[in-house]
A and B are shown apart, each in its own frame.
Chain A
Amino acid sequence: MVAFIVLGALLLAAGVGVVTLRQPVHAALSLVGGILALAAMYVTLEAHFLAAIQVIVYAGAVMVLFLFVIMLLNVGSTPTRSLPWLKPVAWVTGLLAVAGVAAVVFMVQRPLPELEVVQAALRGGNADAIGESLFSDYLLAFHLVGVLLLVGILGAVALVQQAAPETRAVATRTATPDGEGAEPRPVLAGEES
């Protein structure tokens, strides 16, 4: 219980940090802290496998890529332009989300499952428990998610290919050993602006 309160407080603080910190890198770091606190919470619930995957996938890969983009774009703490309608819309969306969660929590009375049932289903939070249900009960969903990811990858490749044909031309030209930059370099996409 103490662990839950401490971790919950950390998680909330991290969440508040994500939305309030001005510097994007700090906000992203706050999100990483939140992910780690959530993983620790999974550990207290004996879902060890889930905790490890949470850290490896979200903190170790996804957030690193987020930070990568933030750093490459060199985003500062001052917004480049402000949208006047953003603030009211954000308030309305946020309040709606809070109201939705509150409605689910307080209005829907649902008996919680017994502790023994939950523990039996978790089976020590091991990989085989998750693997079994993933590859039997949720096989179709699992495959659909795989297709979705594939579509995402193909889409990203297609977008990059379309946007930068000139950059690829440069890359192949400079790759030749006797290129030496004798020919005039073609203008890169977006360089003329």
Chain B
Amino acid sequence: LECVAVLKGHDDRVWCARWSPNGKRLATCGGDKSVRIWEKHGLEWVCVETLDGSHSRTVRSVAWSANGKLLASVSFDATTCVWDCSSGEFECVATLEGHENEVKSVGWSPSGNLLATCSRDKSVWIWEADEDEYECVSVLPDHSQDVKAVRWHPNEEILASASYDNTLKIFEEDSDDWACTCTLNGHESTVWSLTFDSDGNRIASCSDDKTVRIWQRYMPGNDQGIPTPDNTPTWRCVCTLSGHHERAIYDIDWSSTGYLATACGDDHIRVFAENPDATTPHQPSFSQITQEKAHDQDVNCVSWSPDGQHLVSCSDDGLAKIWKLQL
């Protein structure tokens, strides 16, 4: 990994960094209560916009809609802001209230019609978007603790969440109502984040237990004879990556080209590749291909650019950095 840019601007820890869908912009957010938008001008990445004043506490994470026109930000102040940037300027068009306390994560469904948020109040909320109106269509109270992350399936309306209760949960819509269809047990401590692979048949999750787990989806009637209760797909852990990380793993992202990157409390980012010699997808194995002491403090987030060529990381040291993967 070669560091190609350092994004300096936040006055406090940076919690999250996300690429716009066309890879030309980055949004970052953090403990200074602001969201910053960065663009590449010539060879340099510069901060072109600072969105502050809308959140009164830490901004924990951000998410772009699939068409890149909307950005959502969530905060410890219990609110979600939706920003419209289709005119070129960022305008806050909606503030979603309802969570009782800190909102931790946010994600847009692939179609852009649905938004999911999650909170320390143990619930996952699904909001339906109609122009600039957002209506809560479901409150999912299934986790028994703080929900740390939500991510949508890349092309189906399936939502996955990760929690302080050590589990992941899968939510699907069933005859007009959202419900938890599967609970993924295995991690021994808080699950901080998760990522789907590009076709959505696998999830990788990362935890305070210092491991990464790979989960495979099994459809009803699968050839392996894996039971699927209630005729709904089930997810099984098919691989555990341990011994690589020295502290809690705060984030994980699967690139469009198949590489897994992790952000760790030991200041490192690591990249893993699947070993090609596995005979079936049911017993995969992964090797660490590189690790980098990326920051001076905990790394909170990693995210691959849409083309899989670059990685952005951000840290308690107040910086975001862009890395080029050299193979």
Our verdict on whether A and B bind, yes or no, reads no
- Give residues in B with beta carbon < 8 Å to A: none
